A and B are shown apart, each in its own frame.
Chain A
Amino acid sequence: MNVIEAARLGKRYWTTWALRDCTLAIPAGRVAALAGPNGAGKTTLMHLAVGLTAPTEGRVTVLGGQPAGSPEALSRVAFVAQDVPLYKHLPVQDMVRVAGALNGRRWDQARADRRLAAMDIPLRRKVGRLSGGQQAQVALTIALARRPEFLVLDEPLAPLDPLARHEFLASVMETAAEDGTSVLFSSHVVAELERVADYLIVLAAGRVQVAGDVEDLVASHQVLTGPAAGTGAVGAQFDVVHAQKGLAQAHLLVRRRTAAARPPEGWQAHPVTLEELMLAYLREPEASALPGPEPLAASAATGVTS
């Protein structure tokens, strides 16, 4: 099952495309990171996936074919929006109970109570008076008490200090591990993605540039160092994503065409970090690393021709 399947998905605000031609399938059971610079369309993609926004073109489904925003999808997908919007004038305990009233049978009040107690969050304090980290934890608590199958978090770490980030990510990882919840979270901070994500999507300028398993991506990419004059020889077995050439030496971030690809004579291969990989792609908007057959198969399965 895929938690998100998007086929030629696009969203235009007036004359500007926030997201365009986005074809994507995120498999279930992953902690997927949605990365990209500000304005790349991360929030738009998430809003489309949770049904807050309707697409201008294409379609998006969640949890194996449920239309985004349908009653079925809403009851199984939990979303924490950017800047954690909550009713700030309500005390924490009332905020949580209001959320419970908006969620019906799946709601797990005991779980919410346990989490709030474990986090030492003062229940009678108004949400607006809590620290940024505590507000984020309240929002996460509400999302988790819905016992979602798919948890979508939009820039959850942005307002948090390093310690709060650590705690927040630990909570998310714990849930993903315990309940088997699939997670999609967006961030423009690369370092924290690397720690927790096992699936990566890079959006740039409204298009999907990279999508795939982190392990596969890291394994299929390398940095090759060799003579600046001999870069032509690399192209036979590798796709060059980004080239950095000096007078004598060149550093190429490349993608292997086949697992058997070996660097040519005179070239040295180094493993690549996720951060290097992402930065290389972001510097070369024309380059892309997409798992070809999967999204196409997904769109065929949902009846959309591409």
Chain B
Amino acid sequence: MGWAVWRQHRTALAWLGALLLAFGTAVLVAGIAVRGLYATEIRHGCLGSSAWSATCRPLQNRVLFGWPQRYMYEVMLLVRTVPVVIGVFLGAPLLAREYTAGTVRFAWTQGIGRTRWAAATLGLLGAAAAAVACLLALLTQWSVQPVAVQTPRFTNRWHPEFFDSTALTAATAALLAFAIGVLAGALIRRVVPAMAVTAACAITVADLTYNRVHYWLLGQGLRLTRDQALGASPNVGIPLSGPIYIHEPAGPSNPGPTGAWLDEGWYTNASGHRLSNDAVIKLLDKHAGTGPAWLSRLHDTFWVTYQPGGRYWIFQVLLGGGTVLAALLLGAVTLAVIRYRRA
């Protein structure tokens, strides 16, 4: 059966291989270049925020403000489109083409039976899709890592760009997009409309994961800590409307538990009451530059909720596992559609 699936979908798999090769080569070349620059920085002892010397500045500027920085953001965006591409070009045509060509009448009347035929086909191609996405994500993360470590506030492993595109989460995202495409093909039964619907759905899912699910998930089971030093940070003192969502890792300018992901922050006054954002803004305006320090002198306290760094892999598994569950659910629906709808 494995051979039959391979033979029948060889062309599609070849395209997937070509994508892997082209994308992979580009990322590999870029990664080698980035790592060359990084090695130079290390050689001159230029890592760390204290190393702004005359020798280091041009080196650091080249990484942080030159092409490596742009490359990092663009390739991270690109790697998130891989699952969508897989869903649209591998998933959607899979069953839609069988319906339009009428070959379901062949495939579903063979001895193996339609359920086993579908399970084997979807299982093997889904695994191939996940493997390709996994490899590309690994390569991409390897290639941008030297840039990322130098801008930890914006490119930490907790940030959705990275968190949602690890080898694990990229693979599961590809599996889900593939499952969306296959189901769309089974329901719509025409190749191009199925591809269009898959594109819309897969992009929506990726967008929701990135902008909503990610923050919702990392907001579960938060711990709370009081941090005077954090309150003194010039950055977190900038109040937004509503609660102050920090959504940054603890680090040099965000003191907090090492490796933690900071979720939300607020000030309380000496009597323990939460200060409104308006009050904080007024205080900051009045004491421009010295505001936060002034707040702490008055025994106001900055509170922050956070996810401990040790939970990173738990949340990786939760996001990946949830995505796999969603993909399996769609797969089960597809099998039910294949079983119970007329050919």
Binding site for B on A (CB under 8 A): 47, 50-54, 71, 74-75, 77-79, 81-83, 85-90, 94, 97-99, 101-104, 106-107, 146
Contacts and interface: CB of A to CB of B under 8 A. Distances in A.
B102 A102 contact: no
A85 to B, nearest CB: 4
B314 interface: no
Contact of A52 (B11, B105, B111): B105
Given A52-B109, A54-B340, A88 B101 contact: yes
Given A74-B110, A75-B111, A102 B1 contact: yes
Contact of A103 (B11, B105, B112, B342): B112
B109 A50 contact: yes
B7 interface: yes
Interface in B83-105: 101-105
Contacts of B3: 97, 101
B102 A83 contact: yes
Interface of B: 1, 3-4, 7-8, 11, 101-113, 117, 340, 342-343
Contact of B106 (A51, A86, A104): A86
Give me the 10 closest cross-chain CB pairs, A-B, nearest first.
A101-B4, A81-B105, A102-B110, A85-B102, A103-B111, A79-B109, A52-B343, A75-B111, A53-B342, A98-B4
Contacts of A87: 8, 101, 103, 106
A101 B5 CA distance: 9
B113 to A, nearest CB: 5
Given A52-B342, A77-B109, A98-B7, 4 more contacts: A47-B105, A97-B3, A102-B1, A146-B111
B8 to A, nearest CB: 6
Contacts of B1: 101-102
B109 A89 contact: no
A251 to B, nearest CB: 43
A33 to B, nearest CB: 20
Contacts of B108: 51-52
A87 B11 CA distance: 13
Nearest to A85: B102
Nearest to B115: A71
B112 A51 contact: no
B246 to A, nearest CB: 55
With a 10 A CB-CB cut-off, give which of B105, B108, B117 has the most chain A CB atoms. Answer: B105
Contacts of B107: 102
Contacts of A81: 102, 105-106, 109
A46 to B, nearest CB: 10
A interface majority secondary structure: loop
Contacts of A82: 105
A97 B3 CA distance: 9
A137 to B, nearest CB: 15
B94 to A, nearest CB: 13
A102 B114 CA distance: 10
Contacts of B4: 97-98, 101-102
Contact of B343 (A53, A78, A107): A53
Contacts of A90: 7-8
A78 B11 CA distance: 28
Contact of A85 (B105, B111, B117): B105
30 contacts: A47-B105, A50-B109, A51-B108, A51-B109, A52-B104, A52-B108, A52-B109, A52-B342, A54-B340, A74-B110, A75-B111, A79-B105, A79-B109, A81-B102, A83-B102, A85-B101, A85-B103, A85-B106, A86-B106, A87-B101, A87-B103, A94-B7, A97-B3, A97-B4, A97-B7, A98-B4, A101-B1, A102-B112, A103-B112, A146-B110
B91 to A, nearest CB: 19
B117 to A, nearest CB: 7
Contacts of B113: 71, 74
B69 to A, nearest CB: 45
A200 B110 CA distance: 26
A51 B339 CA distance: 10
Nearest to B11: A89
Contacts of A78: 109
A32 to B, nearest CB: 18
Contacts of B8: 87, 90, 98
Contacts of A106: 111
Contact of B111 (A47, A74, A94, A97): A74
A146 to B, nearest CB: 7
Nearest to A79: B109
A90 B107 CA distance: 14
A105 to B, nearest CB: 9
Contacts of B343: 47, 52-53
A118 B110 CA distance: 24
Nearest to A91: B7
A81 B101 CA distance: 12
Nearest to A105: B111
A97 B4 CA distance: 8
Contacts of A94: 7
